[in-house]
């Protein structure tokens, strides 16, 4: 899941981003409306956590532009004004949900996850791949030939992306953008290293194939 936090209170924005990353999400941050809108127009986010009172371009204007764009991105609007009239105004601008400040972080996480499910087209309850591989996105479980596997958050998300691709090649750049965030160095070896540890945990026969110079895919069938 990829999230954009647009909040001008730097300490709050960074704290929310750290917390969401700890929950396994890829998070980018913008501290004003102009840069927030620019990021949202360039990158496909599942959810934008948007402060209403921003310097420069207002949160209202950012929300209005995102709604007019017709993207699947969902908007959770934040504001210090939590009255009924304010909530109604925010929703009428195109926001999908509204949360008043101060808020409990646990509630923010729950609302972001709920909006993400609405932003993402319905997926099978369990993703299945070659070699007896099964991944349950809802329960966050992975097994192979019925044996449960312990994966890190990034290994889990990377495997989920490969399963959703159904055997087509996913480039290293796409994996970097979908599983990590904008601060990941494009020249880093983090994708290759994560694939390597994932392969080791999945065991034999090998199921993740490297397409040299392009990216990775799951084998049509797991060859011995």
Angstrom CA distances, 212 to 28, 133, 201, stand at: 29, 23, 22
CA neighbor of 62 nearest in space, from 83, 82, 79, 85: 79
Residues 178 and 194 in one domain: yes
| pLDDT tens profile 135-186 | 998 788 999 999 999 999 899 999 999 998 888 999 988 888 888 866 666 6
| pLDDT tens profile 118-134 | 766 555 578 999 889 99
pLDDT, mean over the chain: 86
Check if the beta carbon of residue 82 is closer than 8 Å to that of residue 73: no
Last residue of one domain, picked from the residues 119, 136, 167? 119
Which stretches does DSSP call E strand in the chain? 2-6, 26-30, 47-51, 74-79, 97-100, 127-129, 133-136, 141-144, 147-149, 170-171, 208-211, 215-218
Laid out side by side, the sheet with 170-171 consists of 170-171, 215-218, 208-211
CATH number at residue 79: 3.40.50.2300
Check if the beta carbon of residue 46 is closer than 8 Å to that of residue 123: no
* Pairing outcome for strands 2-6 and 47-51: parallel
Residues 6 and 115 in one domain: yes
State the pTM of this model.
0.60
Domain of 211, in residue numbers:
127-218
């Amino acid at each position: 899941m990829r999230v954009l936090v647009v909040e001008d209170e730097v300490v709050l924005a960074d704290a929310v981003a750290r917390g969401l990353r700890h929950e396994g999400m890829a998070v980018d941050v913008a501290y004003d409306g102009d840069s927030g809108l620019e990021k949202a127009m360039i990158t496909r986010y599942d959810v934008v956590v948007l402060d209403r009172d921003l310097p420069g371009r207002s949160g209202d204007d950012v929300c209005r532009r995102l709604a007019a764009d017709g993207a699947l991105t969902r908007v959770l609007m934040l504001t210090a004004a939590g009255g009924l009239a304010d909530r109604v105004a925010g929703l009428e601008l195109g926001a999908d949900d509204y949360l008043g400040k101060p808020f409990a972080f646990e509630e923010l996480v729950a609302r972001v996850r709920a909006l993400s499910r609405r932003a993402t087209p319905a997926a099978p309850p369990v993703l299945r791949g070659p070699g007896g591989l099964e991944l349950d996105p809802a329960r966050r479980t992975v097994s192979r030939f019925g044996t449960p596997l312990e994966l890190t958050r990034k290994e889990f998300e990377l495997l989920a992306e490969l399963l959703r691709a159904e055997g087509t090649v996913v480039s290293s750049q796409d994996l970097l953008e979908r599983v990590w965030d904008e601060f990941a160095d494009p020249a880093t070896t983090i994708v290759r290293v994560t694939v390597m540890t994932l392969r080791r945990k999945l065991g034999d026969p090998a199921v993740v194939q490297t397409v040299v110079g392009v990216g990775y895919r799951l084998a049509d069938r797991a060859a011995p």
